[in-house]
Chain A
Amino acid sequence: MQIPSLTISAVRKGLAEKTFSAVELAQEALAFAKAENPKTNAYLTFSDDRALAAARGVDEKLARGEDPGLLGGVPVGVKDVIVTRGVRTTCGSKMLEKFVPPYDATAIERLEAAGGVILGKTNCDEFAMGSSNENSAFGPVRNPVALDRVPGGSSGGSAAVVAQGTAVVSLGSDTGGSIRQPASFCGCVGVTPTYGRVSRYGLVAFASSLDHIGPFSRTVADSAAVLSVIAGRDPRDATSASHAVQDYAAAMQEPLRGLRIGLPKEYFTGLASEIGDRMQAGIDVLKKQGCEFVDVSLPHTEWAIAAYYIICTAEVSANLSRFDGVRFTTRSAKAESLIDMYKNSRGEGFGAEAKRRIMLGAYVLSHGYYDAYYLKAQRVRSLITQDFARAFEKVDALVTPVSPFPAFKLGEKTSDPLQMYLSDIYTITGSLAGIPCMNVPCGLTAEGLPVGMQILTRHFSEDLMFRIAHQYETSGGFTASN
């Protein structure tokens, strides 16, 4: 079996034709992932026992003539911010180096109920804060396409395992671009569904009003399949939506003729020229499919980063207060009084970026600043959301770049946090509005670095988003898997 290029349908076929068993596939996938991992540092923990138990379950179902599920036997990597019972979950932080969760996230339960085989937990920026995966306490991830470059972040490990072929699909989390940007840097498909489409139960909270779980894969069809499994109402997350989960696989087959797609002018300035060229080639493919392109404006884009870094850090400062040396494994040895125990455990346990964001969040929420910062940012968030609503009155979808530049070199941007924040400009707006958005690979630069195209649609229009991406991919678009 060709582990690095497997897709969900290839796994199904292999199992149905008895080319391999689920256990054989799991064993071979684990061995391959372990052999390849030193190149990228993409996996932090392998979960052999859990993977093999899941694979045995799939083989038993097949032996009884039962359907093993949509993801039956499929090797999966899971970002290490999603809790897994009995399997260490670090969030890329020294603070949780030894944390072994006592329960499974809803997305994990659903993944395994559909036959998914979790190979291990993938590296990420600490508590999902970062755009390069260089903020992990366990070392950066290297981009499998170019090992001297970052894979993007914060779900760098989940993008890398799919690009490297050490998982067929993976789960990541996205708060301001943490799925789409690494997908674009590594040349794979990455999907941020509508806010509330996937339960956040068991996703370690970073910024609760912005956090999403979503899939990575080498084909659009595979991300659609994973989303169809993990999406849907969950009573354990009050923000999860009760909307019916659409039949993405069927929707994707529809041709695109007659669709109107908007190009927001604010997203096409300041691009590296090669990114602009690849985007234009992608747009041309969609035009040939019968899409009509319309110029639109999202006039508040310019203020999105400022609003985002107030809202997200305010939520960070509240959410990360639970890590205080009491319940979660790490306590400072310098803990004479209770307050010193809190302060020292947090000072020693958190890395530089986590501390920076906690500080910024505590500051913007502090006495006298709430109205000027937090409330102001929430009002601007409304304006940004209204921009999208207005654009979607004229068009069915939007197409933009994901990042203004391709994957950069390790260490290139670490000394200037503000510049790192500003690189998220094209992904943060969709996150603030909570609309579905995804990366689909749209070619390579002259140096061979992947470029990504972002597709955005209305709330709960994942069906249309997958349809555009799939038709693009299968009819002249750039395919990640070839």
Chain B
Amino acid sequence: MKLTEEQVRYVAGLANLALTEGEIHQYAHDLSDILTHIDKLNELNTDGVAPMAQVLFESGDSSTLRADEPHVCLSNADAVGNAAISGQGYFKVPRVIER
């Protein structure tokens, strides 16, 4: 599977990643290599095989559920404490809606 630079630009857009021209060139090459290896999967017939999204093991029915009880959550100050820019207890971002 060969990926064009055009496809790389498209995927970078999907992933919200600004890439330089050099990176686009490099990733077109790297991803093509990796996808060519990945094409190996087509050698296997997987008809009727269930997809595995999680590791499953024998366990009680409710063992992954916790009691629905209120508990202390992060304080507002802690929650915004690592924000690049915050103010008045909110995360600040560039203007989204034009007036």
A complexed with B: yes
A residues in contact (CB < 8 Å) with B: 98-103, 194-196, 209, 233, 235-236, 238-243, 300, 302-303, 305-307, 309-310, 317, 321, 324-331, 335-348, 350, 352, 355-356, 358-363, 366, 373, 375-383, 385, 417-418, 421-422, 433-434, 459-460
- B57-70 vs A: 1/0 string, CB under 8 Å? 10110011111000
- Out of B16, B23, B82, which one reaches A339, CB within 8 Å? B16
The answer to whether A239 touches B54, judged by C-beta atoms less than 8 angstroms apart, is yes
Establish whether residues A380 and B46, one from each chain, have CB atoms under 8 Å apart when the complex forms: yes
Q: Is B21 an interface residue (CB 8 A)?
A: no
Contacts of A348 in B (CB 8 A): 18
Instruction: Identify A380's interface contact among B39, B41, B55, B60, CB under 8 A.
Output: B41
| C-alpha gap A163/B18 in the complex (Å) | 39
Closest to A353 in B: B30
Per the 8 Å Cβ criterion, residues 1-58 of B in contact with A are 3, 7-8, 11-12, 14-20, 23, 26-27, 30-31, 33-35, 37-44, 46, 49-55, 57
Bound CA span A326–B3, Å: 31
Contact A378 B53 (CB under 8 A): yes
Count B interface residues, CB 8 Å.
Answer: 57
| Chain A residues with CB below 8 A from B23, complex form | 352, 355
A303-B40, A328-B82 are contacts. A385–B52 as well, Cβ < 8 Å? yes
From the candidates B14, B27, B95, name the one contacting A366 in the complex (CB within 8 A).
B14
> Are A433 and B55 in touch, CB under 8 angstroms?
yes
Residues of chain B contacted by A347 (CB below 8 angstroms): 17-20
CB distance from B3 to the nearest CB of A (A): 7
State the B residues within 8 Å of A (CB): 3, 7-8, 11-12, 14-20, 23, 26-27, 30-31, 33-35, 37-44, 46, 49-55, 57, 59-60, 63-67, 74, 78-79, 81-85, 91, 93-96
With CB as the reference atom, state the residue of chain B lying closest to A335.
Answer: B94
A327 CB contact (under 8 Å) in B12, B19, B37, B83: B83
Determine the chain A residues whose CB is within 8 A of the CB of B40 once the complex forms: 302-303, 306
Closest residue of A by beta carbon distance from B69:
A235
Contact indicator B44/A417 (Cβ below 8 Å)? no
Q: A459: which B residues are within 8 A, CB to CB?
A: 55, 57
By the criterion CB–CB under 8 Å, are A326 and B15 in contact?
no
Q: Which of B3, B26, B57 has the most CB of A within 10 A?
A: B57
Q: What's the least CB distance linking A195 to chain B, in Å?
A: 4
**A103 to chain B: closest residue by CB:** B74
Collect the chain A residues with CB atoms within 8 Å of residue B51's CB: 375, 378-379, 381-382
Known contacts A306-B40, A327-B91, A360-B34, A239 near B12 by CB under 8 Å: no
Query: Closest residue to B58 on the A side, CB-wise?
Result: A459
**List of A residues within 8 angstroms of B79 by Cβ:** 102
Decide: A325 and B84 in contact? CB cutoff 8 A: yes
Contact between A377 and B41 (Cβ–Cβ < 8 Å)? yes
Interface of B is mostly: loop
Inter-subunit contact A317/B15 (CB<8 Å): yes
Residues in chain B near residue A235, CB distance under 8 A: 66-67
Nearest chain A residue, comparing its CB with the CB of B64:
A238
Q: Which residues from chain A contact B11 at a C-beta distance below 8 Å?
A: 359, 362-363, 366
- Taking CB atoms, residues of chain A closer than 8 Å to B42 are 376
Asked whether, in the complex, the Cβ of B30 is within 8 Å of the Cβ of A356, the reply is yes
- Which chain B residues border A359 with CB–CB below 8 Å? 8, 11-12, 15, 17, 27, 31
Q: Which residues of chain A are within 8 angstroms of B91 by Cβ–Cβ distance?
A: 326-327
- CB neighbours (8 Å) of A352 from chain B are 23, 26
Asked if A102 meets B64 with Cβ closer than 8 Å, knowing A303-B43, A459-B57, the reply is no
* A385 to B11 Cα, complex, angstroms: 31
Q: Which of A325, A361, A363: most chain B CB closer than 10 A?
A: A363
Is B44 within 8 A of A362, CB to CB?
A: no
A240→B55 CA distance, assembly (Å): 11
A379 x B46 contact (CB < 8 A): yes
Residues on A with C-beta less than 8 A from B34 are: 309, 360, 417-418, 421
Within 8 Å CB of B41, what residues of A?
303, 306-307, 310, 376-377, 380
Nearest chain B CB to A80 CB, angstrom units: 15
Whose C-beta in chain A lies nearest to the C-beta of B16? A342
What A residues does B30 contact at CB under 8 A?
356, 417-418
Across the interface, B85 reaches (CB within 8 A) one of A242, A331, A363, namely A331
Q: List 24 A-B contacts (CB under 8 A).
A: A98-B82, A242-B59, A303-B43, A309-B38, A310-B38, A321-B15, A327-B91, A328-B83, A336-B94, A337-B94, A345-B84, A348-B18, A352-B26, A355-B27, A356-B27, A359-B17, A362-B15, A363-B3, A363-B31, A379-B49, A380-B46, A382-B50, A382-B52, A434-B55
The answer on a CB contact under 8 Å between A338 and B94 is yes
Q: Is B50 a contact of A379 with CB atoms below 8 Å?
A: yes
Contact A242 B60, beta carbon cutoff 8 Å: yes
CA–CA, A377 and B49, complex, Å? 11
Q: Which A residues lie within 8 Å of B26 (CB)?
A: 352
Name the A residues within 8 Å of B16 (CB-CB).
Answer: 321, 324, 339, 342-343, 346
